[in-house]
A and B are shown apart, each in its own frame.
Chain A
Amino acid sequence: MRLGPQPRELIDRSQRVLFTFDGRAAGGYTGDTIGSALYASGQRVFSRSFKYHRPRGLLCCSGHCPNCLMTVDSVPNVRVCVEPIRAGAVVEPQNVWGSLDRDALAVTDKIGGPFTPVGFYYRTMIRPRFMWPLYEKVLRNLAGLGKVDERHHGHSRYDVEHRRARVLVVGGGQSGRAAALAAATRGPGVVLVDEGMRLRGAELEGVEVLAPARALGIWEGGLVPVDAGGVLYRFRAERIVVATGALEQPLVFPGNDLVGVMLPDGVRRLIRDFAIRPASRAVVLASDDDALEVADELREAGVAVPRVVDLRTAPLGRIEAKGRRGRVSAAVLDGRAVECDLVVASAGRQPSYSLLAQAGARVEYEPSRGIFVPAELPAGFEALGAVTGEGCATVHPLRSSGARNGDKSFVCVCEDVTTKDVDRAIAEGFDSIELSKRYTTVTMGPCQGKLCQLASIRLYARTTGVSEATVGTTTARPPWAPVELGLLAGPHHEPARRSSIHFRHEEAGATIQWAGPWKRPYAYGEHPEDEVRAVHESLGVIDVSTLGKILVEGPQAVELLERLYPNRFGDMKPGRIRYGVITSDGGRIMDDGTIARLADDLFYVTTTSTGADAVTAWFEWWNAVWGYDAEIVNVTGALAAVNLAGPRAREALSRLVDDPDDVAGDAFRYLDAKELDVAGVPCLALRIGFVGELGYELHFASPAGEHLWDRLVAEGAWPFGLEPQRVLRLEKAHIIVGQDTDSESNLLSAGMSWLPKLEKDDFVGKLAVEHVARREEVERLVGFTMEEDVVPAEGAQVVIEGRPGGRVTSARRSEAVGAVIGLAWLPPERCEDGTRFEIRVDRRTVGARVRHGAFYDASGARMRA
């Protein structure tokens, strides 16, 4: 089927390339596309249509239409007409039940009528409701194009490259190339993007040529992502020249989707680029000079052309394509049948203005030429060549067969929308083009309106009796060209925060989990309770580098903090620590932590592990409003931190400091902050008791993380993870903000009425607390112990007299307490110590009793030891 050498052919006949198609061996030449190679080997049916499973063949042969979508090397929806051939590729047809030639679902085309009209499933499948899951399952299989192979990861990699250009030219036709060359004479930074194969490797002086590559759209801020196959170039350009040319528009007539009905450009490509004789007998229905030339090229290629019609001068009223087994066998022109195996038909050319419209250009209709043209370009944009309407015109694309029971006329081959469907939508009252689009899905398929928007607008205008200008176009939105989602996602990088001690935990075999933006050890062994026991009975150490750490420094540091927190800080002596809670002006508890005063004008603030960034931003924002003379510096990453806790903590620490007296009980009291060198590392040591035993939080320069950790472990400290810490803190009834509290909680309901200093003039959240104090209490956070040895889920329902009455926020089994303990929100009248209530656990209810105060070491003697 190949012709003799053509003057501009792209193939290299000396290099055969083999691949497999549908399980069989197939081949072509270097320079072929997969589509051209298949066509040359006699393949005519390339796909089955979206809804009716009608056979479809090459139509545009330019990468616009959906007709040649196949799965190549497990990547679905590849347009094989523009996909370069490659050795060993595995090419599979898709959307087929059976084979391309005999597709079981083609029956939908025959029975058609009642089952597949527009809006079919919106209307039909809504009742009965219980059937929907089944409907959905079946529809999922029937609808859509291609399948994702979950075992395969597509391209081995996707990269993103951030690019800048002085001038970015989209479209490498004559005008695009001329514009690029002209721009290049005025300086560097000129880039030309073209989607075709012809400019691959082309050299234009002073111009960087990207081809084949597709500009996916124009986003806000002039962002133009360009798909260059495996690499996404994100271009920002000072000036964007759009020279995207014009697109041939299909004629709409009965049988216009039969295999063998093609657009002139597609036919020309097969002959010129790939030296293929496309058919043996062709009928040409031309609406411009280009299409007439194709008739000559066909003859030169040895194709009989029994009939050429110039629709501009000899407008045919009625056209129909007749087919056998889905392939065209004759064209019936005003009632006269002409036998043929190819119908070359177009309605003319419509400017390809979508990119300009995305950028904000207005688009207007020119009735004399039957086309939409871009008008009023936004600043920084230029349009050149056919996209401006130059040399473009279309005839009315709609033709009927005149026969009563003619074949379907497709307005949109992507979504299988016929003229009847559009008429029906209009009759049902979808009286704007935007609504009709959503109902019929015309222009919403893979071609994104390239081949169907004009026809649908003109059909709409004709049926409703208004002008095309009044109908208008639908909003143009990116992407303009199809793109793999993987390319948009970019490289598989999801940066995790790791403490400087992290790899010691991995080496120790810890189970690592995400904790907000951090990777943290859940526990070091199979039994977190062993780690809890070590802390209670001997000595444990946990990596708490993830705690947010903020320095607040300046002459007005006290004023700033006293306004950010409900607490007082002015009365604190340097070297002391206070627990603080941050609330919003709505009264919501946002974060909690400790505040250590290091000097008169310097405070060291810790936040929760997930709160560092948000709290820093919160502090900075308020200070941008108030302007206190104080700086807020986030030192979270600069410092590692560990909590050394357990009855042996002081003894272990005393062996690592220069002078053991520095850590003696009265020299380093509970809630003292002190600078100490530990194992040669300067630390800020905070004596606090989150886990309920004697404990020291050591904060020190991150690079010394592993060194100090190793020394503490060598002193006999057991590493413990997040899960044991959760048990330990629950034994002390210490809350976790965001787990035990939510957006409805406030200081009073969470049991911290002692904390806000309402006598202060102002603090963030004061107004809300005052209102809450006047309001009737709704619920309260309290501790409880279970009557049985079962652990309710977090979020489990509290049941009071058979009705929902609250919820559990935390629950764990505690060896030290000898019971399952937890925290729950209860109605205030049920919060007396010892009050019994029930919790739903696995379809039954289990009794629990309110317990006030800490479950473990209620007096706090152990942590104050």
Chain B
Amino acid sequence: MSFLLPCPHCGPRPVDEYACFGEVTTRPAGESPSLRDLTEYVYFRDNVAGVQREWWQHRDGCGEWFLAERDTRTNEVLSISEPEPAPPV
């Protein structure tokens, strides 16, 4: 892998400067989920052949975290965005 990934702060950089934290997942909210739902969240990934949203960190650069939409077949990065955190009230 040698594709360029755009960092929101540093611009396009070789992908090996980044850490990938994988697909964006949804953590079960509210009351205790079933074992099946928990297992699904912890272990199962969609692993699509196509566009998926992922967590990335510019580990060797600014160090910031962001989200990228990447086509897993071509490594084309369609968009990047900064996370929109949602702290509990």
Contact = CB atoms under 8 A, between A and B. Distances in A.
Contacts of A770: 32
B14 A221 contact: yes
A617 B32 CA distance: 27
B28 to A, nearest CB: 7
A768 interface: yes
Interface in B5-44: 14-15, 19, 21, 27-28, 32-33, 35, 38, 41-43
Contacts of A762: 88
A770 B37 CA distance: 14
Given A220-B75, A621-B65, A768 B83 contact: no
Nearest to A556: B87
B19 to A, nearest CB: 6
Contacts of A617: 19, 21, 57, 59
Contacts of A623: 85
Interface in A101-153: none
A614 to B, nearest CB: 10
Interface stretch (A382-390, A624-632, A666-674, A707-715): A624-632
A624 B43 contact: no
Contacts of A219: 2
A570 to B, nearest CB: 15
16 contacts: A219-B2, A221-B2, A221-B4, A221-B14, A221-B15, A223-B14, A585-B38, A585-B42, A617-B19, A617-B57, A620-B65, A621-B55, A624-B85, A626-B88, A627-B86, A767-B38
Contacts of A559: 87
Interface string A203-235: 000000000000000011101000000000000
Interface in A758-795: 761-762, 767-768, 770-771
A626 B86 CA distance: 5
A767 B21 CA distance: 21
A556 B89 CA distance: 12
**Interface residues of A toward B: which range?**
20 to 34
A479 interface: no
A604 B65 CA distance: 23
Contacts of B65: 620-621, 624
Interface in B56-75: 57, 59, 63, 65, 75
A196 interface: no
Which one of A556, A584, A626 has the highest number of Cβ atoms from chain B below 10 Å of its Cβ?
A: A626
Which one of B1, B55, B65 has the highest number of Cβ atoms from chain A below 10 Å of its Cβ?
A: B65
A200 to B, nearest CB: 29
Nearest to B5: A221
Contacts of B32: 767, 770
Given A620-B63, A626-B85, 14 more contacts: A220-B1, A220-B3, A556-B87, A559-B87, A584-B42, A585-B42, A586-B42, A620-B57, A620-B65, A767-B28, A767-B32, A767-B38, A770-B32, A771-B38
Nearest to B41: A585
Contacts of B1: 220
Contact of A621 (B21, B27, B38): B21
Contacts of B3: 220-221
B41 to A, nearest CB: 7
Contacts of B86: 625-627
A627 B86 CA distance: 6
Interface in A630-667: none
B30 to A, nearest CB: 10
Given A617-B57, A767-B38, A624 B19 contact: no
Nearest to B39: A586
B72 to A, nearest CB: 13
Contacts of B85: 623-627
B19 A768 contact: no
A625 B83 contact: yes
Nearest to A764: B27
Contacts of B14: 221, 223
For the complex of A and B, 6 pairs with smallest distance between CB atoms: A627-B85, A624-B65, A586-B42, A220-B3, A221-B3, A223-B2
A768 B1 CA distance: 35
Contacts of A761: 88
A551 to B, nearest CB: 15
B35 A771 contact: yes
A767 B38 CA distance: 8
Contact of A586 (B2, B43, B87): B43
B21 to A, nearest CB: 6
Interface in A815-853: none
A627 to B, nearest CB: 2
A830 B55 CA distance: 44
Given A621-B65, A623-B85, A762-B88, A585 B27 contact: yes
Nearest to B84: A627
Interface in A545-601: 556, 559, 584-586
Which one of A220, A586, A623, A627 has the highest number of Cβ atoms from chain B below 10 Å of its Cβ?
A: A220
Which one of A556, A621, A761, A762 has the highest number of Cβ atoms from chain B below 10 Å of its Cβ?
A: A621
A221 B59 CA distance: 19
Given A620-B65, A625-B85, A762-B88, A768 B42 contact: yes
A627 B87 contact: yes
A770 B27 CA distance: 16
A607 B41 CA distance: 26
Contacts of B35: 771
A111 to B, nearest CB: 47
Contacts of B43: 586
B63 to A, nearest CB: 8
Contact of A624 (B59, B75, B83): B83
A624 B67 CA distance: 10
Contacts of B41: 585
Given A221-B3, A223-B2, A621 B42 contact: no
Nearest to B83: A624
Nearest to A621: B21
B10 to A, nearest CB: 15
A219 B14 CA distance: 12
Contacts of A628: 87
Nearest to B4: A221
B57 A767 contact: no
Nearest to B37: A767
B74 to A, nearest CB: 9
A628 B63 CA distance: 17
Which one of A621, A625, A626 has the highest number of Cβ atoms from chain B below 10 Å of its Cβ?
A: A625
A219 B3 CA distance: 8
B69 to A, nearest CB: 16
B15 to A, nearest CB: 8
A771 B63 CA distance: 35
A220 B38 contact: no
Contacts of B63: 620
Contacts of B42: 584-586, 768
Nearest to A587: B42
A285 to B, nearest CB: 43
A306 to B, nearest CB: 54
Contacts of B19: 617
A220 B33 contact: no
A707 B24 CA distance: 48
A768 B2 contact: no
Given A585-B42, A621-B21, A220 B2 contact: yes
Contacts of B88: 626, 761-762
A314 to B, nearest CB: 49
B77 to A, nearest CB: 11
B21 A768 contact: no
B32 to A, nearest CB: 6
A804 B29 CA distance: 41
Nearest to A629: B87
A767 B34 CA distance: 9
A727 B27 CA distance: 41
Contacts of A621: 21, 55, 57, 65
